Chain A
Amino acid sequence: MKKHTIVALVQDQPGVLSRVIGLIRRRGYNIESLAVGHSEQPSISRLTIVVESTQVEQVVKQLYRLIEVIKVSDVTDDPTVEREMVLLKLHAPISVRHEIVAMCGVFDAKIVDVGSSTMIIEMSGTPSKVQNFIDTIRSYGIKEMMRTGRIAMVRGSRGHNADQYVESGNGATAPVAN
């Protein structure tokens, strides 16, 4: 099954994440990663969901049924910037620290904490670059790892600005009751 990256704008309200996840769960799809946070508008959150699905069009349409979901796009085949961040706590006795430091330099990773026998490394990049870094550094012994999941943004002037969805009057016109 193909992996799809879906970007959604949702109203920032309690329960909205639960609704989105519940809807995807109901169809039996597995969420590979989910990242959520504020958009450029405080009342609107932006989600990036990576899901394996053969019927992603149905997922997108079903998501639109949720009242608090404002805009959904499958950006899998669009030109996007995709990023992911990882925090890694490595087993790092003094004897190997210089090797790790060198490796971090190659991958543009930052050492953010040094303990007596551990180091915490922060690294971000495309999901494949993050994976590559993890695979490379794994041999030193990963004690803890936390990946944020993918976030994606469509390049250029395309994409969806959240401002247009704020303070909108209700544009829908109901049919006249008969």
Chain B
Amino acid sequence: MSQELTGAQIMCEALIREGVEVMFGIPGGAIMPFYFAMWEYRDRLRHVLCRHEQGAGHAAEGYARSTGRIGVCIGTSGPGVTNLVTPVADAMMDSTPLLAICGQVGSHVLGKDAFQETDITGITMPITKHNYLVKNASELAYVFKEAIYIATTGRPGPVLIDITKDAMQKSCVPNWDRKLDLPGYKPTYQPNRKQLREALKLLRQARKPLIIAGNGVIMAGAHAELRHFAERLRLPVITTLHGIGAFPEEHPLSLGMPGMHGWVHCNRAIQECDVLFNIGGRFDDRVTGKASTFAPNAKVIHVDIDPSEIGKNVKVDVPIVADARMALQALLDELPVKEELADLHAHASDWMEYIRELQDKHQGKQQYINRAAVQNMALPPHDVYAALNRHIAERGNIIVVTDVGQHQMWAAQLLDWNAGPRSHITSGGAATMGFSVPAALGVAIAHPDKTVWVVCGDGGFQMTNQEMATIIQEGIKNIKVAVINNGYLGMVRQWQELFENKRYSGTPLSGPNFAKLAEAYYWKGMTVEHTNQVQAAIEEAQATNGPVLIDFRVEREVNVFPMVPQNASIGDMITENSGA
């Protein structure tokens, strides 16, 4: 079959060949040929018209993060693609497989400041895993194949393809058979056996062993192997923000989240452990606090698919470059018989008992929700989470998407994360406010059988809430938004309260009546001002056959605790307002 196709048709065919079913974008001059071709393929390639390219990018991220498949977003040249920069950077930080397709001015005017010309490959070089500028239709079939391969393999990440308008318009016979030729890109999936044995030796001799599980476990689909491994060795498991879902929190070996807003017992366990087994986490500074004081007594085993992560932030004793699932599977294969693990089991059991005592002494989840400081408030934010938590447990089949800020930390802390991998989607590394509503759009399209609950602050919501229109236009019904509305950019306000003597510079925030705004977008909108209305509102939202927004007008100045001040050791946590 040697039929001539236009470059734009080749792009559509290439995407379909790679299994892409949906794309999020906005047309414009330079990308018009792609939209022209897309029309013929509309039965197989769904296009979702977003209201802003940032929304399109986050929607593609939500799609990718909730499925593990490539998310695709589209923008035209100039402002179209510069609007994609934020989600591309976000995807880079959170290792999200994202393909950004960009229209570029014609190759004959490239570099001449043509109308809507921007050097997007130059701009995105440091925030993409790889990027391309394509000037010939004949390159497109290969470049799309290679781009999607790079984005989805190894440590996933964003790849951007910038295509000149004439490359999309010209015709050629595509060569689909050209083999990938990437001499510089050969991700390591299988672990080194010698290193594995070193790791096992350390673990077997440990008295206070600890697992930290991160995003890599989820991306590798290694949650079942992680569970077997932890159970066989009886090791306590800490899950990072992006590791939420990698290990069920109801499991007796689960400790919860570490780091800046992690639980005291988690951070203390890290500081006191003698062997730390990090699988698929990158020792982000929000996890380590001051890195030089992190886990001072621990021999560190670090499993990561990206060799450049090893030894980057924390000194590593046993590096294992591998896919998380393959590493765990190989470790399970090497495990000795149960009798030989008796010593480790005995030590781990004492250690676990000690950690649980720490947990009882300091605030755990329940004490935190029930604490006296919030009892007299009309609507403490914790009550929203408690009700939502009950709702998620009872109903199930819910994916939670959070934005960035106080509400995000409360969600990570206060909800019980038992629904498995990809049930919690958030922006972690870049911490992009405005992520949640558009990301939920992508999640909802990927999972029409599930309900997507967005938990979002009033600040982040106002950054991208225009995507409410996209959600209506696409007929999406399975999105419910809970705005935790405290009239502040709350996390910054909290820092100002605790460290800057309550100088609330630039943080008080007004907004529209969110329920009415939602109604204006043809959503159902509700307002909740008191604890006793919370549960009914959540149930009504769930029962409504369409998108719903609930404006939870929570107590305004509530802080997220526990907290590690910036650059402090994670051993030094603030657990309550010192003054209040």
Binding site for B on A (CB under 8 A): 10-11, 14-15, 18-19, 22-23, 26, 44, 57-58, 61-62, 64-71, 165-175, 177-178
Contacts and interface: CB of A to CB of B under 8 A. Distances in A.
9 contacts: A64-B307, A69-B184, A71-B184, A169-B179, A170-B179, A172-B186, A172-B187, A174-B153, A177-B68
B312 A14 contact: no
B126 A26 contact: yes
Chain B contact residues (Cβ within 8 angstroms of A): what range?
20 to 34
B182 A170 contact: yes
Contacts of B184: 10-11, 64, 66-71, 165
A175 B307 contact: no
A65 B126 contact: no
Nearest to B157: A65
A25 B132 CA distance: 21
A22 B126 contact: yes
Contacts of A44: 183
A105 to B, nearest CB: 45
A168 B530 CA distance: 66
B44 interface: no
Contacts of B133: 14-15
B79 interface: no
B325 A175 contact: yes
A58 B187 contact: no
Contacts of B182: 67, 170, 172
A57 B184 CA distance: 18
Contacts of A58: 308, 311-312
B536 interface: no
A165 B306 CA distance: 21
Please provide the 8 A-B residue pairs with the shortest distance between their CB atoms, ordered closest to farther.
A61-B308, A165-B183, A70-B184, A172-B186, A67-B130, A170-B180, A178-B221, A67-B185
Interface string B165-200: 000000000000001111111110100000000000
Given A18-B125, A61-B307, A65-B306, A175 B323 contact: yes
Nearest to B312: A58
A22 B381 CA distance: 44
A67 B121 contact: no
A66 B68 CA distance: 23
Contact of B181 (A14, A168, A178): A168
A1 B312 CA distance: 19
A68 B150 CA distance: 12
A57 B311 contact: yes
Given A67-B150, A67-B182, A18 B122 contact: yes
Given A23-B126, A167-B181, A178-B221, A15 B186 contact: no
A11 B122 contact: no
B261 interface: no
Given A58-B312, A61-B307, A15 B125 contact: yes
A62 B155 CA distance: 13
A175 B220 CA distance: 8
B207 interface: no
B121 A15 contact: yes
A22 B125 contact: yes
Interface string B509-540: 00000000000000000000000000000000
Contacts of B310: 61
A36 to B, nearest CB: 16
B129 interface: yes
Given A64-B308, A66-B184, A172 B126 contact: no
B393 interface: no
Contacts of B568: none
Quick one: which of A57, A62, A67, A178 has the most chain B CB within 10 A? A67
A159 B121 CA distance: 33
B365 to A, nearest CB: 31
Given A66-B184, A67-B129, A70-B184, A172 B312 contact: no
Given A19-B125, A67-B130, 17 more contacts: A11-B183, A11-B184, A15-B121, A18-B122, A66-B130, A67-B129, A166-B183, A168-B183, A169-B179, A170-B179, A172-B182, A172-B185, A173-B189, A174-B189, A175-B220, A175-B325, A177-B68
B326 interface: yes
Contacts of A172: 153-154, 182, 185-187, 189
B84 to A, nearest CB: 19
